[in-house]
Structure formats: structure tokens, C-alpha cells
Amino acid sequence: MAKLWKAKETTVKIADALSSVSDSALLDAQSFSDDSTITAILKNVTIVEPEGAIDKEDFLGVDTNGFQNAELSEKPFDVAKISGTLVMPAQAKFDGTNKSLEFYAYGSGTQVPSGSATHTRWQAGDGSRTACAILVNLVSGSSYEVSILLNNAYITKLGDRKIGGPDGHWEQDFEAVCLPRDYYVEMKGTSS
């Protein structure tokens, strides 16, 4: 019987971009600092893998079978994307060590008020956006595991903050992208 993944078997971590992704360690064992990692509570997660389009180019004449002369032209792969809805944790501590999506979307922010710095204030578009690493890890016992890493990813959208129903929780949509060279998929327990 095929393995069907459940949401409860999934964890998502968002941290500073990795300087390199080592082949000597699994993706979920890379250098994610617990102090600066967001262990995200997400729902509605979608990962769009890089798309590598191939176009048909037609040329004059026909081949020996009477078909139009044509070749397939491989195009560069597009960016990888992740989107989802982040459940906003009330106990979050934004002190520069523990980070938030705002840190990655808008930069390090400003510590306010001056002198006591009890809060952090962010503004979009100030040119200090920070790259991050987003690890999606699916684990079922010790037999099956899928890890997906978007490294050097940029938060492109922090969506509406909203309450998920009359007695619900606050949540916020987000999107991030990375280049194909920074997108990794790793599987254990697959059959050929």
C-alpha cells in the first residue's frame, strides 16, 4: 500500500539562509540554529517546484518522413515557490535572536523606543530584505522521510492578517521564492 502523508507528520522551519548545503548531512540536519529558527505553525501549504519549459522551434522544410523540421528547445527552469498561511503565535519573542517573517521580508527592523528597545518596528521597502532557508520535513516513523529545502529564499508576500473565524486564531498568508539551484528535494523509503 502506498504511503499517504498527513499534515501531523510535517514540520516547517524558517531560518537564516545556509551558506552552503552540505552533501555530508541530510537536509534536516543542516545548520539550523534553534535560537533563530521559526518553527512555523502553517496550514494551506503549497510548494511549486521549478518548471523547466521546453518549446518547439519550427524550421523550413521537412524531414525524411514528411514532418516539418523542428527541434525542442530547453528553457531555463523557473523559480521554486512556497506559500501558506502562518498561524501567528502569541508567545513569539522578537528580540533579534528569535526571528519573524517580518525580519526576512523587511530586514532587521528598528529597536524602539530608543534607549529601552522593548519592541521591534519594521517597514516594507527599506532595502534590507534578508534571505532565508525554509525546510519542509515530512517524517513517518523511521521508514519514510521527505525533506524539501528552499535556500536563499526571499519572502515576496506577507499577506492579509486575519482571524480564522469568530472564535479562531490570527493568521497571515505568505509566499517565498528561490532559484532552482537553491531548491532541494530529498527522500528516504522510496521504491523504484
Tell me the average pLDDT of the chain: 83
pLDDT digits (tens, 9 = 90+) for 85-141: 888 765 555 544 557 788 888 887 778 888 777 788 888 877 778 899 999 988 877
pLDDT at 139: 84
Provide the pLDDT confidence category of residue 14 given band limits of 50, 70 and 90: confident
pLDDT at 35: 55
Which segment, 26-35, 71-80, 90-99, 154-163, is predicted with the most confidence on average? Answer: 71-80
Q: What's the 3-state SS for 106-171?
A: HCCCEEECCCCCCEEECCCCCCCCCCEEEEEEEEECCCEEEEEEEEEEEEEEEEEEEECCCCCCEE
Q: Tell me the whole-structure pTM to 2 decimals.
A: 0.83
Say whether pLDDT at 168 is over 60. yes
pLDDT digits (tens, 9 = 90+) for 140-158: 777 788 899 999 999 999 8
Distance (Å, whole) CA 45 – CA 32? 21
- Structural domain boundaries in the chain: 34-49+78-192
Distance (Å, whole) CA 152 – CA 106? 15
